[in-house]
Amino acid sequence: MKDILHFSHANGFPAGCYSTLFSYLSDDFDIGVIDRIGHHSDYPVTNNWSELVKQLIHYFEQTYSQPVYAVGHSLGGVLSMMVAAQRPDLVKGLIMLDAPFLTAFEAHGIALVKRLGLMDKVTPAGRTLGRKEEWDSVEHASQYFSEKRLFQAFDKRCLDDYVNHGTQPLENGGRSLHFKAETEISIYRTIPHNLHHTKRLSMPSAVIAGTSSDVFKRHHETKVKRQLGMDVSWVEGGHMFPLEKPEVTVELIKNYIAGWDR
């Protein structure tokens, strides 16, 4: 029987956007996902993402009969870590892909920024406000995203995955964003500022981070090693490296899990 690998996506990137990544994992693992975290009315976006963690916990409880390898990118990595900390019985191993983990100083700063209502200025929420949400066709959507800086280093297959799964068809033949912009903004505005209280994890765990990431930086490596007992590996690239270098990412994921299974 295969191990289960549950993958949790980044903010604004529905699970299908990682289809190319999954294609390299599916021979070795049963892949589980939630298509769009934060879109279920029972689990609204709240401060510190507490209801999103409940969504993931309940999904694990209801879907899997054994502990899983929890792997997540950015938002998904943080949620996976929070589940591992709160319910270690559900998680066999944890891998965070360039997921934010604030130091105590940074966390206090974010808490202050929240109180001042300035999160749009210090997170991508401000850039998400007013973003384009509809296109006339798949071709126009593809051209639009290919010209955006965020997507320019994407593997061509992953860019196609985003166009196909990050947008959805309209009755007129056009496309619209599959991940609601208002949900994406709400998630950015409520980034957890309480993770520095998290205790050392009881299962094997690791962070894979991008060398030029503006989210997980070198000083965060020291933080997660000391506080959580996590290993850290670095991949050339930025925050979106799982969709820029899917094969390299999968190789590191498989290497970690193979080492833990020995």
Rg of the chain, C-alpha, whole Å: 18
Please report the pLDDT score of residue 129 as a whole number. 67
- Residue 156: count other Cβ atoms within 10 Å of its Cβ: 9
Please report the pLDDT score of residue 262 as a whole number. 75
Q: Where are the beta strands (DSSP E) in the chain?
A: 3-8, 29-33, 68-73, 91-97, 134-135, 167-169, 175-177, 205-210, 231-235
Residues of the chain under the 50 pLDDT cut: none
Please report the pLDDT score of residue 117 as a whole number. 87
> Burial of 103 by CB count in 10 Å (0-12 exposed, 13-18 middle, 19+ buried)?
middle
Query: Looking at the whole model, is its pTM more than 0.75?
Result: yes
SS3 annotation, 42-60: CCCCCHHHHHHHHHHHHHH
The Cα diameter of the chain in Å comes to: 54
Provide the Cα torsion 94, 48, 9, 58; round to 10°: 70
Distance CA 184, CA 21 (A): 22
Listed by start position, the domains of the chain span 3-261
Please report the pLDDT score of residue 240 as a whole number. 97
> Burial of 159 by CB count in 10 Å (0-12 exposed, 13-18 middle, 19+ buried)?
buried
Please report the pLDDT score of residue 120 as a whole number. 82
Given the candidates 1.10.10.10, 3.30.420.280, 2.40.30.10, 3.40.50.1820, the CATH classification of the domain at 3-261 is 3.40.50.1820
